Structure 1
Amino acid sequence: MDIKDDDSSSNTNFFNGTFTSHIARQYNSSPSVIVIGGGISGLAAARVLQNASFKVILLESRDRIGGRIQTDYSFGCPVDMGASCFMLFGIDGKQVPQQTVVEVGDAFRKILKETEKVRDEHSQDMSVQQAISIVLDRYPELRQDGLADEVLQWYICRMEAWFAADANSISLKTWDEETVLSGGHGLMVQGYYPVIQALAKDIDIRLNHRVLRITNGYNKVMVSVEGGRNFIADAAIVTVPLGVLKANLIDFEPKLPEWKVSAIRDLGMGNENKIALRFDNIFWPNVELLGVVAPISYACGYFLNLHKATGHPVLVYMAAGSLAYDLEKLSDEGAVEFAMLHLKMMFPNATEPAQYLVSRWGTDPDSLGCYSYDLVGKPTDVYDRLRAPLGNLFFGGEAVSMEHQGSVHGAYSAGLMAADNCRRHLIKRLGSLEMMQVVSSREEILENAVPLQISRM
């Protein structure tokens, strides 16, 4: 059955099933699915279902696909604004001795190891920051003074960037449960756009279609978008960011049950922003990261050096947690000035950027954050509840991936899982459809495309 674009169906008729007479299933027709959200999770789900001969339509609120993956080419090279050896400098502009960096790094790893004992000793959850404080009280020799303490704060800053949240919000119980992909961290030299293109090929994608309501009715799902149009199909997959669900920007009819609402509430939505700067000349050393240490992690900062990987004179300033939100209160010019203050601490003769880009994921109405993280006190079954289907409604997105939470790969795998669950549900409900050739292996989808063994940076 094709997906219906219907402007006339009332909710009453939809719920009691009387509308089905004019969209009755034709003999041996393929099931239909609406995928909501054009990020990598939604695209992966749509790709699986289309390859399995389902009728698929993808609705995306933005004027582009990719969601929180955004590759910008305005610098003349790809710069990923969404989704290593390093050199640190003090606020006085002097380089931190490498021996200090190594020694404090070793101490930080010991501190994190000791937090495991703190976790074992306490039945109730606490924040990572609180656990670090307990460890330092127990082992004063792990405390750092002066410049060394500023380097320790920089390591905490890097940890906060991993979760896009402040250390006093991150759950001690689960902070280290994520399964990190093999091969270490990497940089997509060509950007993520080739991956997005490969997934989106030949899929019916409707851009600028902001979903306002999802009605889960009599063996059908109706999705209402801004402007009054309705789309009706056998099932739907919701892959919108957790921030959108937390803000209740989509109405569900019937209302989501409390166990689903609490699952949305029990996960945090972090924020990380990037300020990309393109220069006319190179004035920095050829290392992957350039960092500024400070007395508190909030004041620390670091730049990712794209020149080392791409050959283009681009530095990207990274800000996470409360700092990322505070930067969004500034104009683009103000944010660039803030980043340049950090850069000039390291390199007083730094030139002004020829071009710049500033992300604002925390206030972007299509995301309202960067990626999810575990809040202190998060229930153990929150991921099961978040991804659990409701009738003909299925859920994807990076937030439902416990193994690779907050990562591109997590979003991708969650989309595959949601599509597979949806496919099995519809085949069981509608009967065996022999003419459907289901993809036998999930990994075959991108066999000749771009590798996805990339995690958060």
Structure 2
Amino acid sequence: MKTIIVGAGIAGLSAARHLKARGLEVLVVEASPFIGGRVRSAAVGDSLVGIGATWIHHPNGNPIAMLCDEFGLDRAKFDLSNLSAFQQLHDKTRLDEASSTLVRTIEDDFWEHFNPEGAQLGESAADLISCYFDALPHDIAHLRARALILNALETELCAPAELIGASNFVAQTQPYDGGDEIIAGGYSALVDCIATGVALRLSWPVARMSQTSSCVEVIGIDGTVETAAYVIVTVPLGVLKANTIRFEPTPPESIGFAIDKIGFGVFEKVVLQFKERWWTTQSTPNGMHFLSDTTFRYWLDISHLARCPTLVAHVAGPPAENLSSTPDMRVSDALTALHAHFDVVPPSTAAFATTWQADPWTRGGYSRLPPGVDGRLIDDLAQPFGRVVLAGEHTSRWRYGYVDGAMESGVRAAKQIIGLAAG
């Protein structure tokens, strides 16, 4: 029994590994020249930097962390909880320590009282933020805390707060804990381990697939055909929305409806390296929020990971829609944004900018639930139709948007294929 897996990201490779371990024939086909999908790393100067997913969020009990242990990959802590420690003011000055502490206290209180389970299906993250802050003083500390929370939510979930459903937070459970970690060597190190021994065909985009009662023909855009008993499709939700791959026969209406209604956001990064770490003298990993900039407003200092002075701008949701079209222009615009906040910004020594939304094989970042969209639609995406099964983070009911959700969806799809073959 041969299974073709479309997409060599974490979901596809995890499915292949599971099937291969049970002695089944597997071929993974990938449209791009790379494996890893949206968890790739890229060379920036002399460093290897994650240009897609980067962290293991909540590593304790997390299957990604356990897989790292199995492969002997080291992990390092990366504290994402102190990003408000360096808040750049409009007049190019930093908040003093007392003001920063007050803002963090307000942020902590917001999250402590944040109760999406009590929200209506049609309510948005913006509604929940307004519900909390509208009754409080409108002084600078509360306004700044509100802006930071809004910035963090929109960046993390790739969309304006008005388009992030309150149910988004209910549907994503947190079965794990332990803060945030980075894999030594980045996610590419894990991808390479998972892909070991897996049959791969790269640079082979799929145009359509036609299934009968006995097999599935997978046809590349070059016209060549591969035939298998079953197929697992792990392409991103954005690719499914774009109808890049034609299915014959058409998937059930429930799957088409889910593809249409589940949200898929934009997430881009701009990596800048410098000769010196000029932006702060603090020795701990840190980040910056620029509340007066509408595009490059969320930055991380990953110097300790890149082993040279490195800043990464995370641009998601509404700001990402306004990015320049080419990587060089994005780098130039990011440097211009820094110049607006600092008196002196030295030239960068190396740079890299992603273009995930423009990439026809990704079309964006990752999925979310808009207001009014029930998380049970994700379950519909995970149902087999004939000899075809979908996988990927967008099919993980409780961990969509997470790498561990993508990985577990691949294993789930592999088990469904085994069940279909046995039945």
The TM-score, its normalising length taken from structure 1, stands at 0.81
Match of 1:350 among 326, 345, 351: 345
**Hey, what's the Cα distance between the residues in 2 that align with 1:197 and 1:228?**
29
Once the two structures are superposed, the pairs formed by residues 225-304 of structure 1 within 5 Å of their partners are 225-285=220-280, 286-294=283-291, 298=294, 301-304=297-300
1:133 equivalent to 2:130? Answer yes
3-state DSSP class of the match of 1:370?
Answer: coil
* 1:115 Cα deviation from its structure 2 partner: 5.2
Identity of aligned residues (%): 27
Deviation at 1:403, TM superposition (A): 2.0
User: What residue number does 2:321 align with?
Assistant: 325
Secondary structure of the residue that 1:308 maps to in structure 2? helix
Query: Structure 1, residues 220-260: CA drift from partner, whole Å, max 9, x if none?
Result: 11111111111111100010000000111111111112111
Q: Tell me by how many angstroms 1:330 deviates.
A: 3.8
Whether the 8 Å CA contact 1:70–1:193 is kept in 2: the answer is yes
2:143 corresponds, among 146, 149, 152, to 149
Is contact 2:107-2:145 (8 Å) kept? no
Name the CA shift for 1:378/1:33 in 2 (closer, same or farther; >3 Å): same
For residues 370 and 299 of structure 1, what CA distance do their matches in structure 2 show? 17
CA distance in structure 1 between the aligned counterparts of 2:375 and 2:328, rounded to whole angstroms? 43
Deviation at 1:148, TM superposition (A): 4.7
Q: Cα distance, 1:348 vs. partner?
A: 2.1
Spell out, residue by residue over 1:184-223, the C-alpha distance to the aligned partner (whole angstroms, 9 max, x if none): 1122331111111111112110011101111121121111
| Counterpart Cα distance in 2 of 1:176 and 1:287 | 33
Q: CA deviation at 1:303?
A: 1.7
Runs in 1 of length 4+ with deviation above 6 angstroms? none
How do residues 82-121 of structure 1 correspond to structure 2 at under 5 angstroms?
82-83=52-53, 84=79, 85-86=82-83, 87-112=86-111, 114=113, 116=115, 120=118
Letter in 1 for 2:148: W
SS at match of 2:304: helix
When residues 422 and 288 of structure 1 are mapped into structure 2, their CA distance, relative to the original with a 3 A threshold, is same
Match for residue 378 of structure 1 among 355, 368, 373: 373
SS at match of 1:72: strand
Structure 1 residue corresponding to 2:329, chosen from 329, 334, 345? 334
Q: Structure 1: state its 5+ residue gaps.
A: 1-30, 430-457
Following TM superposition, by how much is the alpha carbon of 1:312 offset from its aligned partner in structure 2, in angstroms? Answer: 1.8
- State whether residues 36 and 59 of structure 1, in contact with CA within 8 Å, keep that contact through their aligned partners in structure 2: yes
SS of match in other structure, 1:245: helix
Q: How many correspondences in the alignment? A: 391
In structure 2, list runs of 5 or more residues that go unmatched.
54-78
Counterpart amino acid of 1:305? D
* Max Rg structure: 1
Spell out, residue by residue over 1:302-331, the C-alpha distance to the aligned partner (whole angstroms, 9 max, x if none).
Answer: 22111133422211111110111211x343
Deviation of the 1:300 alpha carbon: 6.4
C-alpha separation between the residues in 2 aligned to 1:380 and 1:318? 26
The one-letter code of the counterpart of 1:355 is A
TM-score, normalised to structure 2, is: 0.87
Q: Which amino acid aligns with 2:287?
A: L
Name the counterpart of 2:34.
64
Q: Which AA in structure 2 matches 1:324? A: A
Range moving further from structure 2, 60-69 or 176-185: 176-185
The C-alpha deviation readout for 1:339-373, integer Å capped at 9, x for no partner, is 22333345422211111100011121101111111
Partner SS for 1:224: strand
SS of equivalent residue, structure 2 residue 268: strand
Distance in 2 (CA, whole Å) between partners of 1:90 and 1:127 is 28
Q: What amino acid does structure 2 have at the position aligned with 1:162? A: E
SS in 2 for 1:157: helix
Give 1:164's aligned amino acid: C
Check whether the contact 1:112–1:132 (CA below 8 A) recurs between aligned residues: no
Q: 1:168 aligns to what SS in structure 2?
A: helix
1:159-186 deviation digits (Å, cap 9, x = unpaired): 2121111111100123244234322112
SS at structure 2 position matched to 1:68: helix
Question: How far does residue 381 in structure 1 lie from its aligned partner after superposition?
Answer: 1.7
